[in-house]
Structure 1
Amino acid sequence: MAPEEAAENLLLLRSFERRYLAARPLRSFPWQILEEKLKESPDSELLQEVLQKTVKHPVCVRHPPSVKYTRCFLSELIRKHEAVHTEPLDELYEALAEVLTAAESTQCHRSYLLPSGTALTLSESTAIVSHGTTGLVTWDAALYLAEWAIKNPAVFTHRTVLELGSGAGLTGLAICKMCHPKAYIFSDCHSRVLEQLRGNMLLNGLSLEPGAITDAERPQVMVAQLDWEVATVPQLSVFHPDVVIAADVLYCPEVILSLVGVLQRLAACHRDQAPDVYVAFTVRNPETCQLFTTELGRAGIRWEAVPPQERKLFPYEEHSETSILKLTL
């Protein structure tokens, strides 16, 4: 195989690996490129490599995506194979037979490869809205904020971080693994989200036990139930954050008003040295984003847009626009 062709295949396999581990929509996979490669190749070696990088990946064997997702992926892979090869590939059909007999669950796993080479794995709900909340799944703004944090570790190194609306925990876990904070406080208001969040922390090697050993890759961590509507200045003052972050929390006017309110109370806790605040969001409705900046102005909170970054580390939804604002309390 020529070096150029080998490099192309490596990029293709990497793309399949990242998307499959994160259980991204099947339409986002580079199927057309795979089909062209299969037409050029007389054997099934490339398909076997795709299978090893996806369904048979060691991370996915331990923590698989949903049964339905795996079944749909394998079915599509078989269609691509049958379109260009007359001989069946036993490994594909054996993998499909395994998943056809597996029981479906309301939970699945999504995994993300970090620059260190390790995988960050989350247990999530298979439904976008579950138990009355959207906090049981990971959204693009959390990925975007995590990637920005990994590229700007000095913002978090040796500092105490409070995350508002941690959801499944992707951003916080990435920061804990890659940015060496002194302490990290995950928070959310929904009891089911907090239960899942604790499980994801344990899944990724973080301990909530008092007196647990901490080091550069395992900072002191805690999980707090925090309702922005009722949280008081005395309650917030116990956290002593140097940095406050939030991702994908600008989805309705009521939540925006609650967020601005809790930021005002956080400012009241730190009259001498207010924490740095970063809010990441996906622009779904420009009016919602406008409401947030308007309410910040009314509250006397200054803001500036963080320069946009290239989205390379994680597999994102196509055509989504994501931004980060830095706030000055």
Structure 2
Amino acid sequence: MAPEDHEGATSLLQSFERRFLAARALPSFPWQSLEEKLKDPSGSELLLAILQKTVKHPVCVQHGPSVKYARCFLSKLIKKPSGNSVTLSESTAIVSHGTTGLVTWDAALYLAEWAIENPAVFTNRTILELGSGAGLTGLAICKACYPRAYVFSDCHAQVLEQLRGNVLLNGFSLDPHTPIDAGSPKVTVAQLDWDEVTASQLSAFQADVVIAADVLYCWEVTLSLVRVLKMLAHCQRKNTADFYVAYTIRSQDTGKLFITELDRAGFSWEEVPPHTGKLFPYEEQSTIVILKIMLTARHGV
């Protein structure tokens, strides 16, 4: 890098750092200058440096701006190199309308990051997401991993309403008669109650991959999820589907019952190695794991 280019990059980094730590309005950031710098082959290094000077800055980790501000910043930053961003409407309350599904939880962010680093798992495949919540994970996969079709699902009416809004907000159509642009997946939002869904209903989705994030929060829900996995395994007729579940370990019991029930049902599973990049703001101290469960068709499930 020429001396004048290095000086310009340093000045740009300082500008982003000062504005972010002061929580200045996002339009005040030097976005146009950043776009010019990203035309250089070393643009990816500049983006990583900006992340280190903003959301991963030691001061920000301890006393950073609000999560909403950080997410808006990251959404705008990510859009610069890729042309894609995820816009999300969600509740500001952890529990709202009798559900926790109106906000995005850490494991959903973690799973989205892993998916972006492992797009081949989802490319040109049909994905069924269980307990989609606000929809961030699925929207990230739809924009970055090029699935053939994506089915968001949840059971709470208010969550489904918000979910449909977020899908439309990000430029996807829910009208089955609307022509799909090349490279864009067919997107569906489905009401799916784990205690009432039938094997025939699950079979109709024809999912190649099934995912879920932060759904292991009580034993009743865990048992219901295993029930759904048994039905999914039973209705697989062509290829073996894989199920990826991400969850935050909040106590020693988190995930323990789930693994016990998986073993009892005869499912093969393995822990997915952690990914390297962090794109979204969540608790650094959080211990989040992703399990891969092979939904192999078996008799007697």
TM-score norm. by structure 1 comes to 0.70
Please, which of 288, 291, 296 is the counterpart of residue 325 of structure 1? Answer: 291
1:179 aligns with 2:145: yes
Please, which of 191, 206, 211 is the counterpart of residue 240 of structure 1? Answer: 206
Please, which of 270, 273, 289 is the counterpart of residue 255 of structure 2? Answer: 289
Give the aligned partner of residue 153 of structure 1. Answer: 119
Give the aligned partner of residue 278 of structure 1. Answer: 244
Structure 2 unaligned regions, length at least 5: 32-68, 296-301
Paired residues of 2:91 and 2:103 also in contact (CA < 8 A): yes
Deviation track 1:264-315 (CA, whole Å, cap 9, x = no partner) reads 0000110442211110111112212111111110111111000011342112
Please, which of 53, 63, 66 is the counterpart of residue 26 of structure 2? Answer: 53
Superposed CA RMSD? 2.7
Residue 8 of structure 1: how far off its partner (Å): 4.5
- 1:192-207 matched pairs, under 5 angstroms: 192-207=158-173
Give 1:296's aligned amino acid.
L
Give the aligned partner of residue 189 of structure 1. Answer: 155
Please, which of 259, 262, 278 is the counterpart of residue 228 of structure 2? Answer: 262
Q: Distance in 2 between matches of 1:222 and 1:183?
A: 8
Please, which of 8, 11, 17 is the counterpart of residue 12 of structure 1? Answer: 17
SS of equivalent residue, structure 1 residue 200: helix
Give the aligned partner of residue 188 of structure 2. Answer: 222
TM-score norm. by structure 2 comes to 0.76
Give 1:214's aligned amino acid.
I
Residue 235 of structure 1: how far off its partner (Å): 1.2
Tell me which structure has the larger Cα radius of gyration.
1
Paired residues of 2:148 and 2:185 also in contact (CA < 8 A): yes
Alpha-carbon spacing, 1:302–1:55, altered in 2? closer, same or farther (3 Å): farther
Alpha-carbon spacing, 1:110–1:234, altered in 2? closer, same or farther (3 Å): same
1:310 aligns with 2:269: no
Count of residues in Structure 1 that have an aligned counterpart in Structure 2: 249
% of aligned pairs identical?
62
Alpha-carbon spacing, 1:179–1:10, altered in 2? closer, same or farther (3 Å): farther
- 1:119-130 matched pairs, under 5 angstroms: 119-130=85-96
Give the aligned partner of residue 43 of structure 1. Answer: none
SS of equivalent residue, structure 1 residue 327: strand
Paired residues of 1:164 and 1:188 also in contact (CA < 8 A): yes
Paired residues of 1:109 and 1:121 also in contact (CA < 8 A): no
Deviation track 1:33-53 (CA, whole Å, cap 9, x = no partner) reads x5xxxxxxxxxxxx6xx5243
